[in-house]
Amino acid sequence: MNAQHSTPPLSRQDMEAILAVTRALAAPFDLRTMLAEVTAAACRVLHAERSSVWLHDTGSDEMVLEVASDIRQVRLAVGSGLVGACAHERQLINVPDCYADPRFDASVDQRSGFHTRCSLTLPLVDHRGGFVGVMQVLNKANGVFDANDETLAQALAAQCAVALARVRMTEALIEGEKMRQELELARVVQMSTLPAQLPALAGYDMHATFLPAALTGGDTYDLALIEQGLLVVLGDATGHGIAPALSVTQMHAMLRMAFRLGADLETAFRQVNDQLAQTLPSGRFVTAFIGLLDAAAHRLRFVSGGQGPILHFRAARGECVPYKATSFPMGAMPLSSLRPAVEVDLAPGDILVLLTDGIYEYEDPDGSQFGVQRVEQVLRAHHRESTAALASHLLQAVQAFARGAPQDDDVTMVLVKRMVAG
Amino acid sequence: MDMQVSELGGNVTCVRLTGRLDAPGADTIDTRFTVAVVAQGRNAVIDLSGVTFVASMGIRLLIASARGLRQKGATLVLFGAQELVYTALDQAALDQIIPIVATEQQAIERLAA
> Using CB atoms, which residue from B23, B94, B97 is nearest to A333?
B97
* Cβ-Cβ contacts under 8 Å for A102 (sequence gap 6 or more): none
Interface test with A, best of B96, B97, B98, B100 (most A CBs within 10 A): B96
In chain B, % of residues over pLDDT 90: 66
Question: CB–CB of B93 and A327 under 8 A?
Answer: yes
Reference A228, options A306, A351, A341; nearest CA is A341
Tell me the pLDDT band of A186, cut-offs 50, 70 and 90.
confident
Q: What is the pLDDT of residue A3?
A: 45
Reference A103, options A131, A150, A130, A136; nearest CA is A136
pLDDT one-digit tens code per residue, A21-55: 777 676 656 777 788 888 888 898 899 999 999 98
**What integer best gives the mean pLDDT of chain A?**
87
Identical fold for domains A12-175 and A193-418, yes or no, is no
pLDDT one-digit tens code per residue, A77-133: 887 899 999 999 999 999 999 999 999 988 878 887 899 999 999 999 887 788 889
Given a cut of 80, whether residue A5 has pLDDT beyond it is no
Q: What is the pLDDT of residue A156?
A: 86
Q: What is the pLDDT of residue A240?
A: 62
Tell me the pLDDT band of A239, cut-offs 50, 70 and 90.
low
Taking the CA of residue A308 and the nearest CA in chain B, the distance in Å comes to: 5
Q: What is the mean pLDDT of residues B8-34?
A: 91
Interface test with B, best of A238, A320, A328 (most B CBs within 10 A): A328
The enclosing H or E element of B60 equals: helix B56-71
Dist CA A266 CA A264 (whole Å):
6
User: Edge-to-edge strand order for the sheet containing A351-355?
Assistant: A204-211, A411-418, A351-355, A310-314, A319-323
The count of other CB atoms within 10 Å of the CB of residue A117 is 16
Q: What is the pLDDT of residue A10?
A: 65
> Using CB atoms, which residue from A325, A329, A361 is nearest to B63?
A329
Question: CB–CB of B60 and A306 under 8 A?
Answer: no
**What integer best gives the mean pLDDT of chain B?**
92
Taking the CA of residue A377 and the nearest CA in chain B, the distance in Å comes to: 20
Q: What is the pLDDT of residue A101?
A: 95
Which residues in chain B have Cβ-Cβ distances shorter than 8 Å to A408? 23
Given a cut of 90, whether residue A74 has pLDDT beyond it is no
The domain ranges of chain A are 12-175, 193-418
Using a CB–CB cutoff of 8 Å, tell me whether B60 touches chain A. Answer: yes
- Which three-class secondary structure string do you get for chain A? CECCCCCCCCCHHHHHHHHHHHHHHHCCCCHHHHHHHHHHHHHHHHCEEEEEEEEEECCCCEEEEEECCCCCCEEEECCCHHHHHHHHHCCCEEECCHHHCCCCCCHHHHHHCCCCCCEEEEEEECCCCCEEEEEEEEEECCCCCCHHHHHHHHHHHHHHHHHHHHHHHHHHHHHHHHHHHHHHHHHHHHHHCCCCCCCCCCCEEEEEEEECCCCCCCEEEEEEEECCEEEEEEEEECCCCHHHHHHHHHHHHHHHHHHHCCCCHHHHHHHHHHHHHHHCCCCCCEEEEEEEEECCCCEEEEEEECCCCEEEEECCCCEEEEECCCECCECCCCCCCCCCCEEEECCCCCEEEEECHHHHCCECCCCCECHHHHHHHHHHHHCCCCHHHHHHHHHHHHHHHHCCCCCCCCEEEEEEEECCCC
Instruction: Give the SS3 label for residue B71.
Output: helix
Which residues in chain A have Cβ-Cβ distances shorter than 8 Å to B86? none
In chain A, % of residues over pLDDT 90: 49
Q: What is the ipTM of this complex?
A: 0.84
What is the span of the domain harbouring residue B91?
A: 2-112
Q: What is the pLDDT of residue A36?
A: 84
Using a CB–CB cutoff of 8 Å, tell me whether A325 touches chain B. Answer: yes
Tell me the pLDDT band of A422, cut-offs 50, 70 and 90.
low
* Cβ-Cβ contacts under 8 Å for A61 (sequence gap 6 or more): A77, A78
End-to-end CA distance of chain A, in Å? 99
Q: What is the pLDDT of residue A284?
A: 81
Given a cut of 80, whether residue A148 has pLDDT beyond it is yes
CATH number of domain containing B77: 3.30.750.24
Tell me the pLDDT band of A7, cut-offs 50, 70 and 90.
low
Q: What is the pLDDT of residue A139?
A: 96
Given a cut of 80, whether residue A69 has pLDDT beyond it is no
pLDDT one-digit tens code per residue, A401-419: 999 988 888 899 999 999 9
Reference A157, options A68, A5, A55; nearest CA is A55
Q: What is the mean pLDDT of residues A131-145?
A: 93
Tell me the pLDDT band of A4, cut-offs 50, 70 and 90.
very low
Question: CB–CB of A361 and B22 under 8 A?
Answer: yes
Dist CA A27 CA A18 (whole Å):
15
Which residues in chain B have Cβ-Cβ distances shorter than 8 Å to A287? 56, 92
Q: What is the pLDDT of residue A251?
A: 87
Q: Report the top-level CATH class of A193-418.
A: alpha beta
> Using CB atoms, which residue from B57, B67, B91 is nearest to A308?
B91
Q: What is the DSSP code (8-state) at residue B36?
A: I
Q: What is the pLDDT of residue B66?
A: 92
Q: What is the pLDDT of residue A127?
A: 76
pLDDT one-digit tens code per residue, A192-220: 778 889 999 999 999 999 988 876 678 88
Q: What is the pLDDT of residue A216?
A: 65
Going by CATH, does the domain composed of A12-175 fall within 3.30.450.40? yes
Q: What is the pLDDT of residue A14?
A: 73
The enclosing H or E element of B104 equals: helix B104-112
> Using CB atoms, which residue from A306, A339, A408 is nearest to B92?
A306
Dist CA A393 CA A415 (whole Å):
12
Q: What is the mean pLDDT of residues B55-81?
A: 91
Dist CA B38 CA A366 (whole Å):
34
Using a CB–CB cutoff of 8 Å, tell me whether B90 touches chain A. Answer: yes
Domain count of the fold of chain B = 1
> Using CB atoms, which residue from A236, A285, A357 is nearest to B63?
A285
